[in-house]
Amino acid sequence: MLSWILTNLAELPSADCYLAIVGTHSEYEARKDISMAQIKNEAAYRAALKRIDELLKVVNDSTPSDDPNYLELDMISDMVAEYEEIHYPIS
């Protein structure tokens, strides 16, 4: 299911992105040790970048590390970094 979500991330309303990707905090905690999903296409990559921009407006240095927005930002940022290493390597 997560691969479908990432494939169709650009079509999801941003309010639904958190729950679609991460789920509730307790759901995230229950599966955070599972290997991380990957962004598989350019549309999902662009949607992830857009979501990061939205999250940066509500997450700052004083945001607790267990805050759902912080957790989502952390997870999506890691996914974007991994995608960029493969598709936009710095030479």
Model pLDDT, residue 88: 93
Q: How far apart are the C-alpha atoms of 17 and 51, rounded to whole Å?
A: 8
Sequence spans of domains, the chain: 2-87
**Which of 91, 59, 89 has the alpha carbon at shortest distance from 73?**
59
Model pLDDT, residue 37: 77
* Distances from the Cα of 91 to the Cα of 49, 55, 77, 83, 88, angstroms: 22, 29, 21, 15, 9
* Lookup: tokens for 47: 């949607």
Model pLDDT, residue 23: 61
Q: How far apart are the C-alpha atoms of 81 and 85, rounded to whole Å?
A: 6
Model pLDDT, residue 31: 56
Model pLDDT, residue 25: 62
Mean pLDDT (10-residue bins), the chain, 91 residues: 55 54 60 66 93 96 93 92 92 77
Model pLDDT, residue 29: 61
Residue type at position 7: T
